[in-house]
Amino acid sequence: MNQFPTLKKQIQFLIIVTLILFIVSAVNLVTANSLNNFGLIPRELHTLPAIFIAPWLHGSAAHLLTNLIPLLLFMWLTMQWPKSRFWLVTLTICVVGGMGVWLFGRTALHIGASGMVYGYFGFLILAGFRSRQLRYIAISVLVALLYGGMLMGILPSRAFISFEYHLFGFFGGLLAAWAWAK
């Protein structure tokens, strides 16, 4: 079956994602953030594989908790599309967001799931309208109304926040909606 079969399966998947994020953060905490050495540093070739690792790494528990609720909510809403689309969207966001940061980001360590959060956000904003299906349009409108203020996060605000991950993740989500929402 191409759909996430039940709400129960969707919740189980989100619990697994949460557990992985907490385990990685716990290991990072007890090793004095040594896992963050696997983060993404723009234009450093040896960090290129970090486009798949950096979203799992966070600088602190507060950093993780800030990303966790919107990540889980937006992942769950994206799961309302067929399962194969969910995976294509996730991969597109991860690759486009990560490559955008790697190519154009400030020379700094970039970590955290916020690029994925902004990617799913971008997907959810556009995908409903691309699909032309009422239930998906309703999701797009709801996300835009409730979370539209997130758009300010794609602009530089604080030196220690990777607006680049927000920007390129969002762009990856829009690209995914354009490619995969129909």
Three-state SS for 15? helix
- Tell me the C-alpha distance between 32 and 127, whole Å: 40
Where residue 170 falls (left for φ over 0; alpha for ψ -120 to 50; beta otherwise) is alpha
Helical (H) or strand (E) element with 65: helix 61-78
What pLDDT is recorded for position 1? Answer: 47
What's the pLDDT score for residue 179? 96
Residue given tokens 């239930």 in the structure block:
135
Q: Would you give per-residue pLDDT tens digits along the chain (182 residues)?
A: 466 678 999 999 999 999 999 999 999 999 999 999 999 999 999 999 999 999 999 999 999 999 999 999 999 999 999 999 999 999 999 999 999 999 999 999 999 999 999 999 999 999 999 999 999 999 999 999 999 999 999 988 887 888 999 999 999 999 999 999 88
User: Which residues lie below 8 Å from residue 116, measured CB to CB, with a gap of 6+?
Assistant: 55, 71, 90, 93, 94, 97, 169
pLDDT of residue 181: 87
Tell me the domain boundaries of the chain.
Answer: 7-36+50-180
> Contact, 165 vs 115, CB < 8 A?
yes
- 7-36+50-180 placed in CATH 1.20.1540.10: yes
| Residue 4, pLDDT score | 67
